[in-house]
Amino acid sequence: MDTLTYEIKGQVAEITIESPPANALSSTILADLNEILNELDAEKSLKAVILKGEGKFFSAGADIKEFTEFQGGKENMSFKGQAVFDRIEQFHAPFIAAIHGAALGGGLELALSCHMRFVTKKAKLGLPELGLGIIPGFGGTQRLPRYVGDAKAYEMILTAEPVSGEEAVKIGLANGAVEEEELLDHVRKVAASIAAKSKPSVEHVLRLVPNVYESTLNAGLKDEAERFEEVFRTDDAAEGVQAFIEKRKPEFRDK
């Protein structure tokens, strides 16, 4: 692949977008990302995936030139992008976006499909599509309000004005903001902390949190109780409880 690379270290994978100068999301990048997801999906021991960009940006948007070749129906680039981003959101291990420089347009929509986002303080995050006479098409109108609320989402989309990394944290769009030289180390520490947990527990949490948007409270609580019982019967749960009693770190075997 010419546009993306990935490597696996222990139970954490790192995907890097390498398409200078802007890491713009082209149909080729979407296809390559989909192929990487196929390969990582087979790595069932993975507990976290870091997504980052090489060069000056995380991703400064979608490839606008390709939009001039717009095709309708299933060839619509919007459908293609949404399908890939849905896979990220539903992946069996959490995705963590490490955002520096800019995450704009499709780049922000890609980050929104991740489970967590960490940014540099001076990064720019926004959806500038209305400035081009178009609208977000990779899920921005649906995912952004879930993090920042309807009013802020309207403001960001309708004005097409980006927010800084520091403001992104304040409005709930990002988990944390650090200096650029600290970003990768910080994100890797977060990923390592997740990787130290039991795989069954991590997977169940990934299935439960989306219930907030997709089901009623009662249905979500019922699902949580059922999954709690299932997890409590695992070997890792027994190990975790015993380790707590013995005041030591648990040694999970992901069973």
Q: Does 251 fall in a domain?
A: no
Catalytic residue among 14, 69, 129, 182: 129
Tell whether 148 and 241 lie within a shared domain.
no
pLDDT at 133 over 70: yes
In total, how many domains does the chain have?
2
Tell whether 191 and 205 lie within a shared domain.
no
Say which residues have a Cβ less than 8 Å from residue 177's Cβ, sequence separation at least 6.
118, 119, 120, 121, 123, 165, 166, 168, 169
Tell whether 82 and 206 lie within a shared domain.
no
Q: Does 250 fall in a domain?
A: no
Which strands, in side-by-side order, build the sheet including 163-164? 102-104, 124-126, 163-164
pLDDT at 70 over 90: no
Q: Does 186 fall in a domain?
A: yes
pLDDT at 77: 82
Query: Band of the pLDDT at 64, cuts 50, 70, 90?
Result: confident
Q: For residue 149, what are the domain limits?
A: 4-195
pLDDT at 160 over 90: yes
What is the residue whose two structure tokens read 């699902």? 223
What is the residue whose two structure tokens read 């990302």? 33
Q: Does 66 fall in a domain?
A: yes
Average pLDDT, integer, range 239-253: 93
CATH number, domain at 35?
3.90.226.10
Comparing 65 with 136, the larger pLDDT belongs to 136
In angstroms, rounded to a whole number, what is the distance separating the alpha carbons of residues 254 and 196? 10
The CB density around residue 133, as the number of other CB atoms within 10 Å, is 6
Is 109 part of the annotated catalytic residue set?
Answer: yes
Is 39 part of the annotated catalytic residue set?
Answer: no
pLDDT at 66 over 90: no
Q: What global pTM score does this model have?
A: 0.94
CA 24 and chain centroid, separation: 17
pLDDT at 61: 86
Q: Does 212 fall in a domain?
A: yes
Tell whether 173 and 215 lie within a shared domain.
no
Look up residue 166 and give its two tokens: 């520091």
pLDDT tens-digit readout, 91-125: 999 999 999 999 999 999 999 999 999 999 999 99
Tell whether 184 and 229 lie within a shared domain.
no
Tell whether 28 and 149 lie within a shared domain.
yes
In degrees and rounded to multiples of 5, residue 180 shows phi and psi of: -60, -40
pLDDT at 245: 95
Tell whether 153 and 30 lie within a shared domain.
yes
Catalytic residue among 109, 179, 246, 251: 109
Q: Does 253 fall in a domain?
A: no
pLDDT at 67 over 70: no
Tell whether 143 and 190 lie within a shared domain.
yes
